[in-house]
Chain A
Amino acid sequence: MALSAESNPMRWPAGPLDIALQEKTKGFTTDKAAVLRNWLDPATLGILQGTPVNTLVVSWAAGLASDNEQQQALTPLIEKGRETGVGFVGVIDGEANTSKAIAAALSAGLIAVAMEGEAPADAGIPVIQRNADARIRWSGKSPVLSLSNGIWPGIPQDVNQAGGPTNLPWVDSNGATLRIARALAPDKDVWIEFNPPQQATAQTAEAYMLAVADPASYGARWVVSLDDGLRADLSTKKQPAMDTWKKATGMLSFFKEHNQSKNYQPMGRLALLSNFSGDDWGRGEETLNLLPRLREPARVIARSRAASASFDGLQAIYYTDQEPPDAALRAKLLAFARGGGILFVPSKWANPEGTPAPAEAYLLFKLHTLGKGRLAVCKEEQPDPYDLTADLQTIMSHRYDPIRLYNASSMNFFYETSAQGKQGVIHLLNYSRRPASDGPLFYVKEPHRTARLVSPELASPAELQWSPQEAGGSELSLPKISVYGAVELES
């Protein structure tokens, strides 16, 4: 099988190179080494049967003495995989000789290699570039780009962390990063790598389900990675481990079956526009992290694509970059504001257009009336990210909220619609991984004809009833959700 949009990856630590890479780490034991040796056994591929996992990511070369031994040791596993439709991606890391490692990969029949840094131009095999999020790059020859520093989704253990002074907890999500990657490289499939936190007890099934759902709901794939305990227990087919594995892969299957939103576009009345690189990465990413906590769905526009991007349906655009836009983009943005939109810009925006307008003193933005709309210039060079995000929402006004979410303090949602807007899906992710005391409740400004909830936690889709509101809009009451559900809307 070739690397494709259908590839469902899983990290498969096994063999002498993984032992060499891990043996100097704290807590490494002979038992763990035994598990890593055991996972070279082709019979271990049996756990993949009936699951969507079809691509194993293995350590291939790291510039260590055990590189050759590793490649030899993997041969039976690779051959067995080929028979069962499983492809292998080799990770080239550290001081490895890239050319030699790629040649060995071609010889061994790997479907791709993955590495950090610049991909060789003439590799003869897809090279998946592994990027830290603030430096997203990709190779034209690979259909996949991979983000190497994802985070294990959930609610951080530090109870003092809050998503702002709203009493909503902070949640660790990969959503912001993945949305930026999707905007920068819309024609690529995005993989994201993160490992379970090492802890005394194995992660719960729900934790793995969320690890799958968090990237998948944003259209990306998690490179499945198991904790040591689960890997060891799966080797011996212990029932709790098998149950966890079944639930985790069940979530993978769910997203494989419910992929109709693959070509949907993220929706929101606000768009963030940035090049999302260098110093500008943090501003955009943090705002995109905070907007879901304020229940403000948003779109992302890469600056490189802004010239051809449609601003239709937007109420506001936040141009986040410190570097000013070129003349053409500035003109396009100002035309959007003059036409009735709100254009938020950083403090470095030179010679603000329009007429100064009155505004509340506490706001981080100075407002200018511009045609039918407004230009909002940030007063501070380094504003508090939460306050800034809250002000975006305040200036836009709740009057125009497209969606609101109640009874879901540990949840985020992500809204997408089809090109014509007739179908939509609201992804709902619960980062606490356990149901709240009350079921989530959505307010939708423009109700659709039908709404149904699909979730791997439900035996069958649940038809949802619209509850019209006196002041307009309608509400949808959902059953309790532990990890993930999607509200499918149809007009």
Chain B
Amino acid sequence: MKDELTRREMLLGAGALLTMPAWPAWGSAAVTAPTAKVTVGRCMTYGPELVPTLSKMFDQLGGLDRMVKGKTVAIKINMIGVRSQRLGTAPMEETFWTHPKVIEAVVHLMGVAGARRIRVVEGPWSSCETLEEVMLSMNWKPQDILSAAKNVEFENTDHLGRGKTYSRLMVPGGGLIFPGYDLNHSYADCDVFVSLAKMKEHAATGITLSMKNVYGSTPTTIYGQGAGVDEPSLRPHGGRGGVFHFATRAPSKSAPQQIDLTLPKDAGYRLPRIIAELCSARPVHLAIIDGVKSATGAETNYGSRPQAAVNPGVLIAGTNCVATDAVAMAVMGYDPMADKGTAPFANADNMLHIGESLGVGVRDMGRNEVLGVPVSQVVFSYSAVRDKILAAAAKKA
């Protein structure tokens, strides 16, 4: 086995098998990395086909009502990156952000399934503005989401928000980089946690799907470049690169500190582990990936990379984030079993592999139950799009 994991990680993974997550694991009582159901739906637009497609997919997973009835649901959406930097004229929701129509549809279906309270959460880039304000700044209609079901609310989780204190979520088995994380209360005050992600590539980690989406749960008041040294700052200042990517500074001292300060200061090493830790500490009960429209090349517009707005026309949902991301990778034309050095993990370890070692889920598609439209019918090769862009650029040059 081509294995980049260290002995410590293997041991921690084994430890995780013995130390079950403190969280009630919805739909799973397994003691090994749980296998899961994942379903794929064809959906070319954000029009009327969206709700029935998602509804059918949730039914294939066993039904939303079984998951959310009478429960408080937290839905982590993806609105990360500098909001003023679009990819050409394409709006953020058609490239890098979860589309509001998908959010609205999921909230609606959660409401129909009997969710008691639905809290849409995200830590938009270094801002303490309410999510409603961020949506308004992008010309969205937040009221459409708020009125899609009963008891819907937004919370910006990049800071303390409406909580009185931050909630500490520990990594079962002790963690690889950090033993635990201090997060906005919304990530603890929920019965069901949903990662509602976009189907994207990522400059540092290769991919950003439902696992990577959870990375955005970390408040920059603690993990940002301008976070308080001793205590969290009141307001978010700066990105997470210093603490998470490169270890040039520590999180606020009030939060759990890095286990070993001699660990590599390389984003390709650190980020996959931190992401896997977060998914272990805050398990995802339902992973949903918006691949109707998206962007290739990176998680946001870098300007200098071969990127394009694309229309893969696919939705993916599953009861486990590792399993769901594995299917999404296959849809994107990548091998979820690949490791560092193989696309899309050119410079990073495979976060799915590390997640698997921590007992979060299984990346081998053959061991999960994949339902809905066969993956082979919806493959949309992200690398082929990139190659086409590069070839066109070369021809132009």
Residues of A with C-beta under 8 A to B6: none
Q: A167-B125, A394-B129 are in contact. Are A407 and B234 (CB under 8 A)?
A: no
Q: Mark B208-239, 1 if CB is under 8 A from A, else 0.
A: 00000000000000001110000000111111
Determine the main DSSP class of A at the interface with B.
loop
Q: Does A471 contact B (CB under 8 A)?
A: yes
**One of B35-43, B81-89, B181-189 contacting the partner:** B81-89
B303 contacts chain A at the CB level, 8 A cutoff: yes
Contact with B along A274-286 (1 / 0, CB 8 A): 0000000000000
Bin the interface of chain B by size. Answer: 20 to 34
Q: Which residues of A contact B303 (CB under 8 A)?
A: 436-438
The verdict on B304 contacting chain A, using a C-beta distance below 8 Å, is: yes
- Judge whether A407 and B137 touch: CB under 8 Å: no
* B139 close to A (CB within 8 Å): yes
Main SS class of interface, B? loop
User: How far does the alpha carbon of A405 sit from the alpha carbon of B133 in the complex, in Å?
Assistant: 16
Q: Is B126 an interface residue (CB 8 A)?
A: yes
Would you call B89 and A441 a contact (CB within 8 A)? yes
- Does B141 have its Cβ within 8 Å of any Cβ on chain A? yes
> Contact partner of A387 among B85, B88, B225, B235, CB < 8 A?
B235
B136: interface (CB < 8 Å): yes
CB atoms of B82 and A168 under 8 A apart? yes
Q: Does B119 contact A (CB under 8 A)?
A: no
Contact in complex: B86, A165 (CB < 8 Å): no
- Min CB distance A198 to B, Å, is 31
Q: Give A379 Cβ to nearest chain B Cβ, in Å.
A: 11
Interchain CB contact under 8 A, B126 and A166:
yes
Bound Cα distance A65, B149 (Å) = 84
Residues of A within 8 A of B130 (CB): 360, 394
Contact of B85 among A360, A394, A409, A439 (CB under 8 A): A409
Complex Cα gap A407–B225 (Å): 24
Tell me whether A165 and B137 are in contact (CB under 8 A). Answer: no
Interface residue? B159 (CB, 8 A)? yes
**Residues 466-491 (chain A) with a chain B CB within 8 angstroms:** 467, 469, 471-473, 475, 477
**A-B pairs under 8 A by CB, number:** 84
Chain A residues closer than 8 Å to B159, beta-carbon distance? 362
Do residues A398 and B304 form an inter-chain contact, with CB atoms below 8 A? no
Residue-wise, chain B 98-140 has the 8 Å CB interface mask toward A (1 for contact) of 0000000000000000000000000001111110010011011
User: Judging by beta carbons under 8 Å apart, are B137 and A401 in contact?
Assistant: yes
B298 to chain A, nearest CB (A): 12
Distance of A166 Cα from B81 Cα, bound (Å)? 9
Report B-chain residues with C-beta under 8 Å of the C-beta of A12.
Answer: none
CB distance from B140 to the nearest CB of A (A): 7
Q: Say whether B350 faces chain A, with CB atoms less than 8 Å apart.
A: no
Q: Is the CB of B82 within 8 A of A473?
A: no
Is the pair B84, A406 in contact by a Cβ cutoff of 8 Å?
A: yes
Is the pair B128, A362 in contact by a Cβ cutoff of 8 Å? Answer: yes
Residues of A within 8 A of B141 (CB): 471
Is B72 on the interface with A (CB-CB < 8 A)?
no
A25 to B238, CA, bound (A): 41
A409 to B303, CA, bound (A): 11
Asked if A438 contacts B87 (CB within 8 A), the reply is yes
Expressed in whole angstroms, the minimum distance between the Cβ of B396 and any Cβ of chain A is 15
Beta-carbon contact of B88 and A165 below 8 Å: no
Known contacts A437-B304, A469-B139, A407 near B85 by CB under 8 Å: yes
Nearest chain A CB to B85 CB, angstrom units: 6
Chain A positions 163-188 with a Cβ under 8 Å from a chain B Cβ = 165-168
B238 nearest in chain A by CB position: A165
Question: Quick check: is B301 within 8 A (CB to CB) of the other chain?
Answer: yes
Interface residues of B in 45-89 (CB under 8 A from A): 82, 84-89
B85, B87, B226: the one within 8 Å of A165 (CB): B226
Given A168-B82, A471-B141, 12 more contacts at CB 8 Å? A166-B82, A166-B126, A167-B82, A394-B130, A394-B133, A398-B137, A399-B136, A404-B137, A407-B301, A409-B84, A438-B301, A471-B140
Offer 8 A-B interface pairs, CB within 8 angstroms, sorted by A. A165-B237, A166-B127, A167-B125, A168-B84, A406-B85, A407-B301, A439-B88, A443-B139
What 5 pairs across the A-B complex have the smallest Cβ distances? Answer: A437-B303, A398-B137, A398-B136, A165-B126, A165-B237
Q: Which residues of B are interface residues toward A (Cβ below 8 A)?
A: 82, 84-89, 125-130, 133, 136-137, 139-141, 159-160, 224-226, 234-239, 301, 303-304
